[in-house]
Amino acid sequence: MRITSKGQVTIPVEIREKAGLLPGAEVDFELDGEDVRIVKAAAPRAESRGQRIVRRMWRRAPGRMSTDEIMALMRGDWREEDEGSR
């Protein structure tokens, strides 16, 4: 197995499945002498702005919406939050 120029390595599917490492899982790296160990992150990391928007929007859209309508709704939600914090 090789490390890419970006420092990436592919974890074999058998290992990911046994370790319960699903896409998006947070991991940490531990050094043990000359060995490197990948472990599940102890606590979930802070939610990103994008994740907050998606969580708040989930199942709230009324029927079918165009991309422009969705973007307008998202921008409206962001402005309301921004104005409320002033």
Can you say how many angstroms the Cα of residue 39 is from the centroid of all Cα atoms in its chain? 17
Residue 65: DSSP 8-state: -
pLDDT tens string 60-74 = 766 777 888 878 877
Quick check: helix, strand or coil at residue 38? strand
This prediction has a pTM of 0.44
pLDDT tens string 5-59 = 999 999 999 999 999 888 888 888 999 999 999 998 887 667 888 888 888 877 7
Domains of the chain: 1-43 (2.10.260), 49-84 (no CATH)
Spell 9-32 as b/e; 16+ CB within 10 A means b.
eeeeeeeeeeeebeeeeeeeeeee
d(CA 65, CA 78): 18
d(CA 84, CA 79): 8
Beta pairing partners, 73: none
